[in-house]
Chain A
């Protein structure tokens, strides 16, 4: 199987630490289930990601240098 993360369309995915997550949720004043979702079966999901985790994605943005988004892992 090919390494999906090497593809230029795939931005960097990392599992967000619990503490960092708290900060993010506080900043936006939202619940983690309000975040955009990512499927547990997603090809680009890191191996150590589990259901209920939040994934931090760093995109090369078209409008700024880099943009950081978060996705909540769902079934």
Chain B
């Protein structure tokens, strides 16, 4: 017997569990029965049967054009989304693309989002102690030379001089020796390091080379992940009343972050679907598409779009084992039929190419048949009626 956390008797449970309802609806039935204390088994049975009938009636019928319905159900609220590219919103003053641009970006399956970001959860004491959380921050946030000290150019001697700030070095857990080494490795110069002072210059005295070195020096990432330009720490309340530190990053490098010590690799996410696909596989990417599209709509107060529509979109995008965009470069572009592709975008190109390759259109799909004016294979259009072909024998139809 399934475990039920509601105060109802065993007979009622048996009656409700016997229906074809999903868990979510069964729980709601229990909740209602519980609220109406003293409902008899007969009443419970009646209620459960009514809910079940209603549930079975609202399921999708065979040959229903679910895709078209989804397109309209997402499209209509889509007209109410903000067309502004983005503004500061959401969590911790991190700039995130929202509204229509974000939705377009998702269904287009862009390689990188406009504003990549990660939500990094921490584990153990990293999540509860600010000091420890900061350690993780320094391992994620890219540290450039200007954050570590002052850089000056001595034109007379053709030298670049760096005065490192010792407090910052200690805080970010990097030594002056390490800094000097990284400079040598990435710029290919000899450095002289004394205490917190580092000095180097071009091999041949050249004003241009000197400036070039300074320029390159500024781009070196000394610590952290190059792609992540900023990390914000926030203290968030958990369901059980405790608090934990959560990091929000501007820029993302999902794979790298998962490997960092202190990062909770079971909850950390990012808003780049391709990165999720690469690191967690296609199923996680599908889940992320649903989550992201749903959040984008919910953010704008359009959360009454049924999640099934978004699930259908995500299913289509992940059907071939990799993320495909909706549209001419993805799903619509890989349709079998020439006419269906031509009807979508860049009509002439498709017709021309089809003519060159001698393509044949079997007129199996919906779009093609709308074009040539035949009934489409959807709804009643896919049902054939035949008269009297298999009557029970006694009365032959003529």
Residue A74 CB within 8 A of the other chain: yes
| B: interface residue count bin | 20 to 34
B-side contacts of A43, CB under 8 Å:
278-281, 284
Q: Using an 8 Å CB-CB cutoff, how does the interface string of B257-283 with A read, 1 for contact, 0 for none?
A: 011000001110100000010111111
Report the separation of the CA atoms of residues A64 and B307 in the bound assembly, to the nearest whole angstrom. 12
B288 CB → nearest A CB, Å: 6
Q: A8 is contacted by which of B266, B311, B318 (Cβ under 8 Å)?
A: B266
Contact call B22/A9, Cβ cutoff below 8 A: no
Contact with B along A40-69 (1 / 0, CB 8 A): 001111000000000001010011110000
The docked-state distance in angstroms from the alpha carbon of A9 to that of B269 is 9
B265 and A6 within 8 A (CB): yes
* Residue of B whose beta carbon sits closest to that of A37: B321
CB-nearest residue of chain B to A57: B283
The 8 Å CB contact of A38, one of B22, B276, B321, is: B321
Question: Chain B interface mostly helix, strand, loop or mixed?
Answer: helix
For A38, A43, A59, the residue with the greatest tally of chain B CB atoms inside 10 Å of its CB is A43
| A23 shortest CB reach to chain B, Å | 20
Which residues on B sit within 8 Å (CB–CB) of A9? 269, 276, 280, 283-284, 287-288
Residues A44 and B280 in contact in the complex (CB < 8 Å), given A3-B265, A9-B269: yes
**Contact between chains at A42 and B321 (CB < 8 Å):** yes
Contacts of B265 in A (CB 8 A): 2-3, 6-7
Name the CB-closest residue of B to A45: B281
The answer to whether A6 and B266 touch across the interface, beta carbons within 8 angstroms, is: yes
B105 beta carbon closer than 8 Å to chain A: no
Residues of A with C-beta under 8 A to B290: 62
Say which residue of A39, A64, A65 sits within 8 Å of B322 (CB atoms): A39
Q: How far is the CB of A36 from chain B (nearest CB, A)?
A: 5
Question: Which residues from chain A sit less than 8 Å from chain B, CB to CB?
Answer: 1-4, 6-11, 13, 36-39, 42-45, 57, 59, 62-65, 71, 74
Binding site for A on B (CB under 8 A): 22-24, 258-259, 265-267, 269, 276, 278-284, 287-288, 290, 307-308, 311, 315, 318-322
